[in-house]
Amino acid sequence: MSGTRRASPTARKLATWMVWLLGGAFLMSLGLMGTVLHFVVRDLTASYTGVGLNPFQPQSRPTQATTPDPLATPTLTQLAVKPQPWDGTSRVTILLMGLDYRDWVAGESTPRSDTMMLVTIDPLTLQAGMLSIPRDLWVEIPGFGYNRINTAYMLGEAYQLPGGGPALAMQTVENLLGVPVPYFAVVDFHTFERLIDEIGGIDVLVMQRIKIAPIGRPGKWLEAKPYHLDGADALAYARVRKNAGGDFGRAERQQQVILAIMDRVVGFDMLPTLIGKAPALYQELASGIRTNLTLEQIVQLAWLAVQVPKDHIQSGVIGPPEMVGFYTRPDGAQVLRFVPDAIRGLRDRIFVETSAIGPSIAEKPEEGYAP
Amino acid sequence: MGYDGRGRDEAGPTRVSGVGNSGGVDTQPVKTAVRSRPSRWVKWRWPLLGAMLTLVMIAVSVTTGYMRGLEERAAAQEQAQAEVARQQFDAGMQDLLAGNYERARQRFEYVLTLEPDRPGAAEALGQALTALNQPTPTPSPVASPTPTETPDFGSFEGMFTSAQAAFARADWTSTIDILLRLRAEMPTYRLEEANQLMAVALRNRGMDKLFTGELEQGIYDLTLAEKFGPLDAQSLSWKRSAAFFIFANSYFGLDWKLATEYFDQICQANIWGACTKYGLAAREYAAELAEEDPCAAAQYYEIGYGYVGADASAPTATHVAHRCATVTAPPPTATETSTPGTETPTATFIPGPTWTPSPTATAGQMATPTHTPTVAASSPTTTPTPTTGVPTATNTPTPNPSTSETPAN
């Protein structure tokens, strides 16, 4: 019995060696794991940008040989745009921009902005507003002379100005309207469609018969009646220009779509769900949204927006006959001259009269947005 | 892992003890078994040590990795920032050489925000600003951070005092922001005084913006200030002037005739680079007139070149001047008559918005702020410069408020 319990010196030596070997292997694997962990954490930390949506990674220009993807965000080489802080009490004004689909299809490296809309919310008075700016407005673009306002974005991108296209577009709009524009958001087509699909589509009352051409689907006519539109149809409805009031009719439809989105989100009490899904949505859609708003600010603004009663939302389109004049330039280009006094009147209706800046502040409405 | 290095395994002592109890042959093994029973710590020391080592290694790896990552991120940002600054500086210099002064200004200002000490950037910005006819920041374009009080948001009175302090150091934006925050917390707190402070801060910020060429932004602030009461004569006058400038500017590139007429009037006050625009508009208008009215074209070319110099149109200008001399030359007969159909150019313009004296101040107008920038209008090459002098009616040109939008619309 003792022979089985007491190992021979050789066996004991072997066992000791085994123990040391195992210990050494353990320590080595520990060291290896530690090293790997060190590098992983280091790389993750080093690559974290701290920016909310879209870290603005430069993307290469589509070459002639490749067919541009119309659904991809046509982001260009540009400088980083830092998120702007928001104190929670100041009026928030965001320049929403959509890029020109035709430029993208044509492989233009620097697309123009196709849609420009100022969206504003005053957190103190709970008043909101939307102001659409026509793309052919003839304005002075800082550093580039006079041109259509939709070229501001393109010029800022092409010349790689500080802040890129969004910064120059924001500055141009500020110079035109006088209101501070600290935030911007550029949303690509696919992301817009996806967002609308995420909320289950929108209900829209089509005011007149109109033909829409959803991307990737055959065109179709919408009669003058209520419709429930999915993402692709809603985007097409907001984009169509021909035979539907041109740019000005389109601007009105875009505002109608935004209100319909709010109706949907508020009416179906979807905001808590959406906010719960925000991180996942962010992962999915971040590449399609360029903005200097952080994700937290977007969530904050969404909560704020649903508190705004519908009758507290002012909207307007810079359009004929009072606010613009039609001109043809010597080169044949048809542009719009802005009529400062009239535009100022619209600006004041949306921004000044609804501002918390005034002798007294109106009481906040008891109830929130009611679709 | 239960091995203790002495050839025992975990079941050893139990078995030994069991043998002693059952057989009773050897009385010692029980004692030995009790003495050699390892404590729980001894039993688990190696696994525990291993686990502890693992945890320590994880902690050390994560910590050092994180610290190293932070360093690398900072270094990468610094490098990227330096690269961006270098690119923007180079592009700014190219813009400066190419005469794109506004673009150069944007770039140099950005470079200075990234690298305040970058050699040559401040001087280049000064050159761009000089070319743009804007006041050069002195003594250095880099704004040195001035110690400011941290606003006290702990109490309403603290907020109000902070707003007053911001106002005293002419920080209008901070004043407005703090008052808005106060309003959000307690809408009625010292309402009258807060309103007065807010109104004057808005008024002054608006005026500052007007003087730096942010015309519509200045008008917006003054419009907000008007919600508190009528503007004083000076700011009202400047607001109207700015509105008229923007009105004239809306025709630039679309209707050279009207642009020329309106900028001519603003040029008389020599503000916001109006004379440059007048010169450019006159040159373009001259080109339009060249075929039909060479004498008028020659005159507008002369006006244009007087303000902005000659450009590629110089040969055309010379040509129309010759044509004008030909058509207006006295006929061989000594009779001195003007050629029929030739319109003599005149410096008088179609009636439109005209300058009128500044309105006088009336009772109940907004209180005059402590900091009142004024404009010193002088030669065509200078621009409005904020000073602390007393405003005069002559340097605050006021267009007729009845400016209409009817022309060529």
pLDDT band at A45 (very low <50, low <70, confident <90, very high): confident
Bigger pLDDT: A267 vs B398: A267
Number of cross-chain residue pairs from A and B with Cβ atoms under 8 Å apart: 185
| B54, B73, B409 member nearest A46 (Cβ) | B73
Is the CB of B60 inside 8 Å of chain A's CB atoms? yes
Q: Quick check: A12 and B7 CB within 8 A? A: yes
Give the pLDDT confidence of B153-192 residue by residue, as tens digits: 778 899 999 999 999 999 999 999 999 889 888 888 888 9
pLDDT band at A369 (very low <50, low <70, confident <90, very high): low
Collect all residues of chain B within an 8 Å Cβ-Cβ radius of residue A31.
57
Give the pLDDT confidence of A200-227 residue by residue, as tens digits: 999 999 988 999 989 888 989 999 999 9
Bigger pLDDT: B356 vs B126: B126
The DSSP secondary-structure symbol of B374 reads B
pLDDT band at B330 (very low <50, low <70, confident <90, very high): low
Distance of CA B377 to the CA centre of its chain: 25
Bigger pLDDT: B218 vs B290: B218
Determine the pLDDT at residue A241. 80
pLDDT band at B114 (very low <50, low <70, confident <90, very high): confident
SS3 A336: strand
**pLDDT, chain B, mean:** 74
| A15, A37, A340 member nearest B247 (Cβ) | A340
Question: Rounded to a whole number, what is the distance in Å from the CA of A121 to chain B's nearest CA?
Answer: 15
* Mean pLDDT for the stretch of residues B96-123: 88
Q: Quick check: A344 and B254 CB within 8 A? A: no
pLDDT band at B243 (very low <50, low <70, confident <90, very high): very high
Give the pLDDT confidence of A22-42 residue by residue, as tens digits: 888 988 998 899 999 999 988
Q: How many other CB atoms sit within 10 Å of the CB of residue A76?
A: 19
pLDDT band at A173 (very low <50, low <70, confident <90, very high): very high
Bigger pLDDT: B389 vs B60: B60
Give the pLDDT confidence of A98-145 residue by residue, as tens digits: 887 666 666 666 788 889 999 999 988 899 999 999 999 999 999 899
Buried b (16+ CB within 10 A) or exposed e, A282-292: eeebbbbbbbb
Selected residues 70-89 of chain B with any CB under 8 Å from a CB in chain A:
70, 72-73, 76, 80, 84, 87-88
Determine the pLDDT at residue A59. 32
Contact assessment for residue B344 and residue B338, using Cβ atoms and an 8 Å cutoff: yes
Give the pLDDT confidence of B301-318 residue by residue, as tens digits: 999 999 988 888 888 888
In the predicted structure, residue B368 carries a pLDDT above the cut 70: no
Question: Rounded to a whole number, what is the distance in Å from the CA of B227 to chain A's nearest CA?
Answer: 6
The contacts found for B273-278 with CB under 8 angstroms, 24 or more apart, are: B273/B132, B273/B133, B273/B213, B273/B383, B274/B245, B274/B248, B275/B307, B275/B380, B276/B133, B276/B307, B276/B308, B277/B248, B277/B249, B277/B252, B278/B303, B278/B307
pLDDT band at B331 (very low <50, low <70, confident <90, very high): low
- On the 0-12 / 13-18 / 19+ scale of CB atoms within 10 A, B12 is middle
Is the CB of B243 inside 8 Å of chain A's CB atoms? yes
Is the CB of B328 inside 8 Å of chain A's CB atoms? no
Give the pLDDT confidence of A250-290 residue by residue, as tens digits: 999 999 999 999 888 888 778 888 888 777 777 777 778 88
Q: Quick check: A360 and B191 CB within 8 A? A: yes
Q: Quick check: B183 and A342 CB within 8 A? A: no
ipTM value = 0.78
Bigger pLDDT: A63 vs A198: A198
Question: Rounded to a whole number, what is the distance in Å from the CA of B396 to chain A's nearest CA?
Answer: 21
